[in-house]
Structure 1
Amino acid sequence: MDNLSKEQSLYRFITNEGDFFTDDYLDESFAGKVFDNSFLGKKNKISEDDFAASSASAATPWGNSAEIKAGIKSAMGKLRDLYGEYKAKIHDPRSEAKGIIKETSLFHGKLLEDILWYRYEVIGGKADNDGHPVPYSEIYYLNGPDDKEKSIVPVRHIIRNKNDASVRMLIMEMQPEIENGAYSPGGLCKQQISGKTPEEESKLPQRYFREQWKDVFKVPEGYHISPSVIRDAISEISHGEKSLRPEYILLLAGPKIYLIKTDVWDQQSYLMLDIDELISGMTASQKSENLFTIFWLLVAAPELLGDTGMIARLIEDNRSHAYSVTSELKTGVVNVIKILGNEASYYFGKHPKSCFCQDFSRTGKEREIFNTAVLNDCLIYVYRLLFIFFAESRKGELGLAPERDDAYDLGYSLEHLRVLALRKLRSRGENEDFFFDNSMKKLFALYGKGSSDLIIKNGYRPEGKGGLTEEWLRRIDSPIFSDAGLTYFKELRIRNSEWQKILKNLSVTRRKSKNGRIRTGLINYAALGVNQLGAVYENLMSYRCYYAEQDLIQVHNGKETNPDHYLLDDYDNLGRYDFKNEVVHDPEDPNRPLIVSKGSFVYWLSTLDRSRSASFYTPVSLTRSTVKYTLQGIRERLDKGEMDYREILDLKIYEIPMLSTIQILAA
């Protein structure tokens, strides 16, 4: 178990829904991260001696670490046998829903106690004569026992904190996620528990009836199950009274186990572990013990109920990782805007009759309007690039770019161009040429007009598979791909050397390895969610721009190390500052100040302007809640059959902060 597998493909038994972890965090090193942060790894706070000394106490019923390792190995063999027997029973074509549910609940009991070590000593509640925990021995009142609505949620086990009896963790179960002839109960967001009759529920999709569950749990007289939809029940639990709100919910569904952390459930974030995929991976892998250990550590009692806090540590480590990538992208975007602004000055400087040069010479209010128009053009280019990077990284999910299509991948894609951008340009002619610019303009036009425009221009419509069709790439109906929104950049030509800098700033990430070396890699846009892209967008709100009318220097408080907080002053004022401690030095000559030359494009941080304009990014946690409760009435009407699903297409969405469309993204 000390040398964990580094083959990422083996971990397909883990479904990372809603960015519980960012996708790039689940890389080939994920196994090592799990192991190192567990009580078996390098970063644990509990030593082997501590385990041995406390093994006799009720607080630590799992034994010392050596005993635990031996127990994990034994549990691996038990799981193969247990799951094999269960699978044979539920795949019997003669099985009915009621029987499948009962067999699944029995399987869950053995899985919890024998494999994952949720034993009576740690679960609490009631035990039978043989010392096994009794399921559903305690009622979970959604709003407390004095709730006038008499609402309960079926909970298999309620695990409480010993110091104050508050709820620490819930273990719930639902129908197995399997397909067996006519039996198809659906998934987490589809299944329902209800007290209605089958006739009354015939309008509702993906349901299961209280009658089918009567051999597993019984609803006390005078009480009713509410909410009936499991997804909604978890939402209510996640927002419930603090003493009744658990940190984790372990939801069992036959071959699938959901690990839900209630404080991120609003973002529909959770891990789903598939036992079937796990056993398949263990069969194919030479390191099956390592694979099972990762599964076990993620959901077993010693971790979720222990003191090491592995999941919390992993989440914190992942946040630091995501912050690092986001910070690099923020810096990269700012650099790109500076490159674009300076390249516009360079190119149009060779064309003195251009509108850019004529407006450049204006002063006062007209000069401010000019600066704003240039910045707007820069931002449109940046938004185009970020959109295409994101669309190409999620082709299958979003359907905005052709998937597995050589014509697009090699002829148009931004991914192909960013690979070329990493190659060194050898001659002055290669640096000054416009290969990248021509390619970019074609790519922008393709997204702005769609493949139907190419068909019209080429005058033909190829037949057969793989041919160019109107559906090959649909037009993106957005102002950012319309040149009508550009003031000056419609005529701008950007040199290859500058396009390379632009693509590198939006592509390359640099991280320190354990030995201190800087390692470079490519930013994985598929791993960036609305939170990360929103942070980049929010960062841009804080900047303003202008072209320097004279040479400038960068100055700062002697203790300030963040370049974003440096200030600009006229070069003529250099003598006012402590040159050693308050002036930014030229990296090539420490005896000279770093000079921002006259005519350079200055993109500077101005939080004051942002505060005055009340420009702020709405975090995804707030947008999800807003959208959830706005649409709740519509969803209830759909569930009751009072509204047809097709009517959703006729809804109009009105969003006040339309610039970011963040509410629409949440919907």
Structure 2
Amino acid sequence: MPVSDNAATFLGINNENEFYSAHYLAEVFKGDISEVLSKWKAQEQSKQHYQAPYNRLKSIAREYFAMRERSHKERNHQKAIAMQREFFRLFCSALDLPWNPHNRRVEIDSKKEDLELPVLSVVPNNEGPQLWVLGALDSDKEGLDPLLLKLKKDQFIGQGPHTDSLRNTSWYDLINDVIFKQDEPPRWIILLTDRQCILIDRYKWLQNRILRFDLDEILGRKDDITLKATAALLHQQSLVPEQGSSMLDNLDENSHKHAFGVSEDLKYALREAIELLGNEAAEQLVQRKDISFTGKSALNADELSRECVRYMYRLLFLFYIEARPELKYVPHNSLAYRKGYSLESLRDLELVKLTSEESRNGYYLHHSISLLFKLIHEGYQGERGGDLSDEWRTPKNGKIHNSFTLEKLDSHLFDPKRTPYINKVKFTNQTLQTVIRLMSLTRETSGRGRKRRGRVSYAQLGINQLGSVYEALLSYRGFFASEDLYEVQKPGEKHNELETGYFVPAQEIENYNENEKVYQKDERGHKTLKRHPKGKFIYRLAGRDRQKSASYYTPEVLTKCLVKYTLKERLKGLKADDILELTVCEPAMGSAAFLKKPSINSAKRILP
């Protein structure tokens, strides 16, 4: 199901299912397009009669609204199409897109004859046609999604006769089952209607990630920032440059790099969250008669660490899987799941102020998350019974209103037998809200280069980024402070909680110089020594633990390079069936970086 994110800075541009991450669009994107905007501005100032593309878009607003009014009243399809296409021509001209309407021949495996499809423009490069511009007709004038509109016979170019067997097929099906199934499919599609423009990237299509431009908003408001963003994203040189990689590919690369920065933030977040969970769990557990800090019934810090890590991995898995509808595991189409059970629904509570003692120390979040973990572990077949009470069932067939189906996940990750300590604990709303906030927002930095907190996009994070988070935590360990401890560091080094931690007893802290002591700010903003009181659960990288555990993450740039040139030689002359028979072995698998890359590269050789 599409999830639309209308960035506040670009009113009218809907970033559906995170074509780019919301945080990237809000914080980084404007800087990444500044060079092309400056180039256009310089040309406008130096060349007579030259108008920057964003100003061209602004100048056709009157023609747009005139077309909207006339075509809305027009009952004749052919005349309405002619009116729309005249505006489409102006729109393409503003973006330096060529205008060459024609019926393009396409092939379908199930059809022996060639078929035709009306195309408004095709922009090629050395590799073939890279961009198709298409037009959809909203004949009922109801403002329907352009992808749901159907191809009309009057949209074919010229008198005919036409091989128009594809008429009355939705544009979604045409794009999915026809255009992208050609031997040389376009990389990009721009789909135009009298109200919208949709930008489609074939590489993101299966994930339902598109950019939707609301022309009423963009040309009505004439907001300068939005017009510039629209022109930069849709311009011919941004999509199909004469040479080199496209600007949108560069934006993708920068967004990807930004995602790696976000994964670094997640490492800090998960480490802090594990400490929070460990300390609250320890506080509750030692109040029991059968558990203490010392003696035979002593709380095992290593076991508690593993369980807290497992708890955080569960949350990380759910954030990721809920952000990936294309994986079809959680029931995204179920309103009951999204609003009543999903982790994403709890994410909306991350900034709600807990003003009362009851709200801070209550267990609403704990019970909600525990129920979700149970659903994942045991599965739920709502349509076939389940455990819900009879009052929710219909009298006729016994089915449950607004229910959903969730397949059981056969994995140790959600097995409650793996978390005996945590099963005895109820985490407070205050603790879990902090955990969710840490996992939902990027870190705020201070000083030069300060950046605001942004919302973490799990849809933009790949297995490699999550793998780096996973492997980083493998080399940490938890322990209880046996006495009051102070944190110290090597002289001249900046304190980093992800690096090796050094702790000394209170009686030894005076033996260290000022540049060796670690300071923090208290609630009043005063600078104080970083102290860990006796009994506190500390989760840090200690000494040579990382080297001993051999926990090293392989950077994606290295896996890309090694796999690319290995497969370049290995796949020479192989057919699709031969490629599918290949076996890849990775003896030291962590996040499966060296398994994932060959699979992707091989798939690209098989699929268009």
Q: Structures share a fold, TM > 0.5?
A: yes
2:104 maps to which residue? 90
Report the AA paired with residue 385 of structure 1. Answer: L
Deviation at 1:380, TM superposition (A): 0.7
> 1:321 matched to which residue of 2?
258
Matches within 5 A, 1:650-661: 656-657=587-588, 660-661=591-592
Q: Residues 253 and 538 of structure 1: is their aligned pair in 2 closer, same or farther, counting only changes over 3 Å?
A: closer
1:89 aligned counterpart, secondary structure: strand
The reply on whether 1:481 has 2:423 as its aligned counterpart is no
Q: Under a length normalisation based on structure 2, what TM-score does the superposition of the two structures give?
A: 0.64
Q: 1:368-426: CA deviations, max 9, x gaps?
A: xx3321111011100001111112222x3222222243322332222222333432223
Query: Aligned partners of 2:504, 2:465: CA distance in 1, in Å?
Result: 33
Report SS of the residue matched to 2:128. Answer: strand
Q: Is 1:451 paired with 2:380?
A: yes
TM-aligned CA distance change 1:9 to 1:400, over 3 Å:
farther
Alignment check: 8 A CA contact 1:553 1:595 kept: yes
Does 1:347 pair with 2:284? Answer: yes
Q: Which residue of 2 aligns with 1:428?
A: 357
Alpha-carbon distance between aligned partners in 2 of 1:614 and 1:386, rounded to the nearest angstrom: 23
C-alpha separation in 1, matches of 2:90 and 2:345: 47
| Whole-angstrom CA distance in 1 between matches of 2:363 and 2:91 | 64
Partner deviation per Cα, 1:557-600 (whole Å, 9 max, x = no partner): 3422232345211222112112x332123523867532111111
The secondary structure found in structure 2 opposite 1:407 is helix
Q: How many angstroms does 1:508 deviate by?
A: 2.4
In 1, Cα distance between equivalents of 2:596 and 2:231:
37
1:83-133: CA deviation from partner (whole Å, max 9, x where unpaired): 89744433899x9988979x98x965xx57xxxxxxxxxxxxxxxxxxxxx
Shift of 1:610: 2.1
* Counterpart residue identity of residue 596, structure 1: H
SS at match of 1:27: helix
Q: Report if the CA contact (8 A) 1:374-1:487 is conserved.
A: no
Tell me if structure 1 keeps the 8 A contact 2:341–2:368.
Answer: yes
**Corresponding residue for 1:383?**
313
Aligned to 1:69: 51
Once the 2 structures are TM-superposed, how far is the Cα of residue 534 of structure 1 from its aligned partner?
1.9
C-alpha contact (below 8 Å) 2:464/2:593 kept by paired residues: no
Matches within 5 A, 1:369-448: 370-394=300-324, 396-448=325-377
CA distance in 2, matches of 1:33, 1:72: 17
Corresponding residue SS for 2:326: helix
Partner residue of 1:576 out of 511, 530, 535: 511
The residue aligned with 1:224 is none
CA offset digits 1:494-529 (Å, max 9, x no partner) = 222222221221122355799998744432222222
Is the CA contact 2:302–2:478 (under 8 Å) kept in the aligned structure 1? yes
Q: Does 1:617 align with 2:573?
A: no
Q: 1:14 to 1:339 in 2, by over 3 A?
A: closer
Q: What is the percentage of aligned positions where both structures have the same residue? A: 23
Aligned to 2:458: 525
CA change 1:486–1:356 in 2 (3 A) is farther
2:13 equivalent among 4, 10, 13: 10
CA distance in 1, matches of 2:479, 2:470: 20
CA distance in structure 1 between the aligned counterparts of 2:414 and 2:14, rounded to whole angstroms? 39
State how far apart, in whole Å, the 2-side matches of 1:449 and 1:14 are. Answer: 29
> In 1, distance between residues paired with 2:121 and 2:202?
26
The alignment's TM-score, normalised by the length of structure 1, stands at 0.59
Aligned 8 A contact 2:115 2:164 in 1: no
Deviation digits for residues 240-275 of structure 1 (CA, Å, limit 9, x no counterpart): xxxxxxxxxxx778869xxxxxxxxxxx99689xxx
Cα distance between partner residues in 2 of 1:24 and 1:620: 23
Greater shift in the superposed pair: 533-542 or 292-301: 292-301
Instruction: Determine if the alignment matches structure 1 residue 295 to structure 2 residue 218.
Output: no
Contact 2:23–2:455 at 8 Å: present in 1 too? no
Residue 563 of structure 1: SS of its match in structure 2? coil
Confirm or deny: 8 A CA contact 1:330 1:536 kept in the other structure.
yes
Q: Which residue of 466, 469, 478 corresponds with 1:536?
A: 469
Structure 1 315/598 Cα, relative in aligned 2: closer, same or farther at 3 Å? same
Contact map agreement 2:270 2:312 (CA 8 A) in 1: yes
Q: CA separation in 1, counterparts of 2:212 and 2:403?
A: 44
- Structure 1 residue matching 2:442: 3-state secondary structure: strand
User: 2:69: which partner in 1?
Assistant: none
The change in CA–CA distance for 1:519 and 1:182 in structure 2 (over 3 A counts) is: same
SS at match of 1:401: coil
- Note closer, same or farther for the CA distance 1:634–1:494 as it changes in structure 2 (3 Å cut): farther
On the 8 A contact 1:623/1:663 being kept in 2, the answer is yes
Read off the aligned partner of 1:414 and give its amino acid letter: L
Letter in 2 for 1:410: K
**Which amino acid in the other structure matches residue 505 of structure 2?**
D
Question: 450-459 or 319-328: which moved more?
Answer: 450-459
In 2: Cα distance, 1:407 partner to 1:252 partner: 36
* Deviation (angstroms), 1:68: 5.1
Please give the alpha-carbon distance, in whole angstroms, between the structure 2 residues aligned to 1:503 and 1:525.
13
Change (3 A) 1:515 1:467: farther
Gaps of 5+ in 1: 17-21, 53-62, 113-155, 157-169, 193-205, 209-229, 232-250, 257-267, 363-369
For residue 31 of structure 1, report the CA deviation from its aligned partner.
Answer: 6.9
Alpha-carbon displacement from aligned partner over 1:208-232 (angstroms, at most 9, x marks no partner): 5xxxxxxxxxxxxxxxxxxxxx69x
Cα distance change of structure 1 residues 34 and 282 upon mapping to structure 2, 3 Å threshold: farther
* 1:436 aligned partner, one-letter code: L
What SS class does the counterpart of residue 280 from structure 2 fall into?
Answer: helix
Distance change >3 Å, CA 98–CA 439, structure 1 → 2:
closer
User: What CA distance in whole angstroms lies between the structure 1 residues aligned with 2:41 and 2:402?
Assistant: 64
Contact 2:502 2:542 in 1 (8 A): no
Alignment CA distance shift 1:207-1:506 (3 Å): closer
Structure 1 residues 317 and 88 mapped into 2: Cα distance closer, same or farther (>3 Å)?
A: closer
Q: CA deviation at 1:457?
A: 3.5
Query: 2:92 is matched with which residue: 64, 74, 79?
Result: 79
Inter-partner Cα distance in structure 2 for 1:64 and 1:436: 60
Name which one, 1 or 2, has greater alpha-carbon Rg: 1
- Displacement of 1:466 in angstroms is 8.5
Amino acid at match of 1:567: Y
Change (3 A) 1:614 1:352: same
Is the Cα contact below 8 Å between 1:393 and 1:526 reproduced in 2? Answer: yes
* Conserved 8 A contact 1:585-1:593: yes
Conserved? CA contact 1:351–1:357, under 8 Å: no
* Distance 1:351-1:653 versus aligned 2 partners, 3 A rule: farther
- Per the alignment, residue 152 of structure 1 pairs with none
The answer to whether 1:597 aligns with 2:579 is no
Distance between the aligned counterparts of 2:233 and 2:47, measured in 1?
Answer: 16
Corresponding residue for residue 486 of structure 2: 553
1:10 partner letter: I
Secondary structure of 2:309's aligned partner: helix
Is 1:37 aligned with 2:32? no
Q: Report what 1:262 is aligned to.
A: none
| Cα shift at 1:6 | 4.5
User: In the alignment, residue 344 of structure 1 is paired with which amino acid?
Assistant: A
